[in-house]
Amino acid sequence: MTAPVPSSPQPQPVIHITAAVGAQIESSLSPIALKSSGNGTAREVYRSRQIDRKGTSGTDRLPFEHDRDRILHCRQFRKLAGKTQLLIAPNRGDLRTRLTHTMEVYQIATSMGRRFNLNIPAVEAIALGHDVGHTPFGHAGEAALDKILEPIGGFHHAAHSVRTLDRASYDSHILHAETTCGLNLTAAVREGILRHGWFEGRRATPYHQPPLPTREWDLAGPGTRRYGSVEAQVVRLADQISYLNHDIDDLVLYGFEKIVSKRIVGEFFEKHKVAVLNTAEYADWQLVQQNFLELLADDASGRVKTLVRDAVTASLLRIKGVVEGETAPDADLLVEFGSVLRKTRNLFYDFFKECVYTDIRIKHKNESAKNCVKFLYDFFESFFGGNHDLLPMHVQGELGARPPWWQTYLVGIGVGSATVVANATSWTEAVNLTVACKLAAADVVADLTDREALAAAQALDEAESTAGMEALDRILATFPSGRQAELNQQRQDATRRELRGLFPVAGN
């Protein structure tokens, strides 16, 4: 009689994911996914400061989970609910805001990330943080600040999102326990947030470089990944898919359906057909045009499904080539549409630029928004110039550090020649304060919601306005100076003591 073959032991289900178990689970991710432990991960999880041990000792969360949670609970994330996505301060509640856009990006990115077996907490953190530095009034506000700051490198929301999380996110727990500003995120998440809209070819922007060692802030310099991690690339494409879908949706919801009329689309096609008629691009023209019309006519669900399926199918081929060693990891974008849909996406960009943003109703609102941003920036730059003690804490920290990259500023704003600026003796307190006031004004204005910006501009424009003083106090409380932060903490501590006094502990 044959002896029975012993059955292999069944794996035990994991009922509690500790940090150690989580690290083991990460080992089963794709070879190109971000990892938070093991060989070669020190750079990915590097933080500029040691995390406060009181807040994290004994935690079951991994580094990217910490990042995700800190972003989700920070004040700047909540303010996205009041910032423009496409239409400025819309009067109906079912149109997208910057927050609902972020959540749509989050959903699409995590769905795609699972298809590629990537590090989902890292995808979540990058997706949730990718727009926290956006200005009020969307890209109109961004364009206004970019023009104002052009002499010193300009303004871009992706880079400002990193600056916001690095410096201007005043988490009350961190501020009290570590007496410093910023959320102290990992390098991989910060890089992903920057790279969702920041690629080679952009001009240098010293405005977005905090006074930290090169290893910590130079996310786009020599030796860094050209397109970021695969998780960052997933968020980048999810951002585009979300944008293409909901901007069409919102135009129709708001009553701009005439913009997507047969006549306007026909004239747009004819113009672009002529442009590619005698080029190699014409071979794909009919297919690109068909895809464009199908996406335009489809509902939101069908539109997203088409875009995601094409992205997953095309990206898997590229990812497989990297995993099998056939192509270099950083040779090109791994997560991207196929050739035809890539051209379709670019055609949509041209359509929005030529047919949507030129509509007089949208142009009028955008111009008003730019004027509002310029007025507020000029006001706060002058205000901080006359009230140096009220500069926000994070800017005071930069002012005290006197970072070398500020030298680029000094030349840009016409303070002196490069030779003079390079001379340490020329670095006067007055010059430092000039730079600090510009930083503070841009940070404060970019932080405002649409309605806060509109209300503040109106109140501050009125002579001897009590409302203007109240608006100014509210804005300054958002980015407190050192003394204001100390008073806020004392107030919170006193409130806690009062509440605890209502319920005496037994035995006391």
Q: Is residue 8 part of a domain?
A: no
User: Do 152 and 262 fall into the same domain?
Assistant: no
Q: Are residues 263 and 397 in the same domain?
A: no
- Last residue of some domain: 358, 375, 407? 358
In terms of domains, do 264 and 188 share one?
A: no
* Residue bearing tokens 């995993």: 323
pTM: predicted TM-score of the whole model, two decimal places: 0.88
What pLDDT shows up at residue 446?
95
415 and 334, same domain (yes or no): no
Q: What is the pLDDT of residue 186?
A: 92
- Please check whether residue 1 lies inside any domain of the structure: no
CB 210 within 8 A of CB 164: no
Same domain, 353 and 383: no
Tens digit of pLDDT per residue, the chain (508 long)?
Answer: 566 666 666 777 778 888 888 888 898 999 999 999 888 888 899 887 765 555 555 678 899 999 999 999 999 999 999 998 877 766 667 788 999 999 999 999 999 999 999 999 999 999 999 999 999 999 999 999 989 987 767 788 888 898 899 888 876 666 666 566 788 899 999 999 988 876 555 545 544 444 343 344 567 666 678 888 999 999 999 999 999 888 888 877 776 766 777 888 888 888 888 777 777 777 788 899 899 999 988 888 899 999 999 999 999 999 999 998 888 777 788 999 999 999 999 999 999 888 888 888 888 989 999 999 999 999 999 999 999 888 998 888 877 776 666 665 555 555 544 444 444 444 566 667 887 888 899 999 999 999 999 999 999 887 666 778 888 888 888 887 777 777 777 887 888 888 888 876 655 5
Residue keyed to tokens 């109140």: 459
Domain termination site, one of 207, 228, 249: 228
Is 266 in the same domain as 296?
A: yes
CATH number at 153 reads: 1.10.3210.10
Q: Which of 331, 358, 385 is the last residue of a domain?
A: 358
The burial of 181, by beta-carbon neighbours within 10 Å (0-12 exposed, 13-18 middle, 19 or more buried), is given as buried
Distance CA 323, CA 317 (A): 10
Q: Does 464 map to a domain? A: yes
Do 46 and 143 share a domain, yes or no? yes
In this structure, is residue 504 part of a structural domain?
no
Query: Looking at the 3D structure of the chain, how many domains does it have?
Result: 3
- Residues facing 97 on adjacent strands: 84
Residue 503 Ramachandran class (φ > 0 left, ψ -120 to 50 alpha, else beta): beta
Q: What is the DSSP string of 50-90?
A: PPPHHHHTT----HHHHHHHHHHHSHHHHHGGGSBSSSSS-
348 and 477 in a single domain? The answer is no
pLDDT for the residue numbered 367: 94
Does residue 5 sit within a domain? no
Q: Give the pLDDT score at 341.
A: 93
Question: 247 in a domain, yes or no?
Answer: no
Question: Is 508 domain-assigned?
Answer: no
Note whether 94 and 204 are same-domain residues: yes
Is 67 in the same domain as 88?
yes
308 shares its domain with 437: no
Contact 393, 449 (CB under 8 A): no
Same domain for 347 and 391: no
Range of the domain at 327: 257-358
Asked if residue 479 is part of any domain, the answer here is yes
